[in-house]
Amino acid sequence: MPDRVEVDCRLLAIVPQTPEALASHFKRKPTKSITQVLAALQILGQATTDNDHWRLI
């Protein structure tokens, strides 16, 4: 899971992305766990969403 969070943050730093787009970078396409990571980042004040496109703050 820490690897997934790191990859998500690196990808979000480049451009806002949907959970599906982030999941496509992984072999198993873990959309559900990506959504959980994004929600955690939002609670921590690290990410925000606009029309299902997430970005880092």
What does the domain layout of the chain look like in residue ranges? 2-56
Share of the chain above pLDDT 90, in %: 81
Low-confidence ranges of the chain (pLDDT < 50): none
Its CATH class, for the domain covering 2-56, is mainly alpha
**Predicted model pTM:** 0.89
In angstroms, the CA 1 to CA 26 distance is 12
